[in-house]
Amino acid sequence: MNYRTDSPEETHALGVKMGQAALPGQIYTLDGDLGAGKTVFAKGFAEGLGITEIVNSPTFTILQTYESGRMPLYHFDVYRIADPEEMDEIGYEDCFFGSGVTLVEWSELIEELIPPEAVRISITRVKGMEGNAREITIENGFSA
């Protein structure tokens, strides 16, 4: 499934829809360059889950857990991970295989840990446009 958004608000809105549709135990991966819009999407997704806390990029902590929605959200940003073994130390399996929903920014860096059933989302800047256009590709799940 391919979407195009022309503003952060539109990417946020797509995240809200997907957060509303999310099911317990699902894993969503979010890939795309620095500044592509992964965290913008994640904030919308959290809103769609009913999360009321402020969602920030968890870059320096790798994992942020939000409990105020209709199920827990495990928000990973693995950009600064040096070795996938760090994921074990964080206890990622309890998140990936628990009854909350997991979002992983920069999942390509821990590809070997991503289960085949994960919903894969990539965000890319639309080429030839300096502005706000993004192409968002969703594989392995969800249609809206």
Ligand X SMILES: Nc1ncnc2c1ncn2[C@@H]1O[C@H](COP(=O)(O)OP(=O)(O)OP(=O)(O)O)[C@@H](O)[C@H]1O
Where do contacts with ligand X occur on this chain (CB under 6 A)?
Answer: 5-8, 10-11, 32, 34-40, 57, 105, 132, 134
Is 38 an interacting residue with respect to Mg ion (CB under 5 A)? Answer: yes
- Of 141, 91, 123, 86, the C-alpha closest to 8 is 123
Considering only 11, 26, 39, 107, the residue that binds Mg ion (CB under 5 A) is 39
Residue 132 interacting entry, from Mg ion, ligand X, none, C-beta within 5 to 8 Å by type? ligand X
Shortest CB 110 distance to ligand X, Å:
15
Is 56 an interacting residue with respect to Mg ion (CB under 5 A)? Answer: no
Gap between the Cα atoms of 121 and 117, Å rounded: 13
C-beta atoms surrounding 93 within 10 Å: 11
Q: How far is CA 92 from the centre of its chain?
A: 15
- Of 37, 58, 46, the C-alpha closest to 123 is 37
Which residue lies nearer to ligand X by CB, 8 or 98?
8
Is 57 an interacting residue with respect to Mg ion (CB under 5 A)? Answer: yes
Q: Which residue is nearest to Mg ion (CB)?
A: 39
**CA 95 vs CA 4, 13, 72: distances in Å:** 30, 25, 9
- Of 40, 45, 46, the C-alpha closest to 134 is 40
Give me the 93-122 binding string for Mg ion, x by CB under 5 A, dash otherwise: ------------------------------
Which residue lies nearer to ligand X by CB, 19 or 32?
32
Instruction: Please give the residue ranges that form the binding site for Mg ion (CB under 5 A).
Output: 38-39, 57
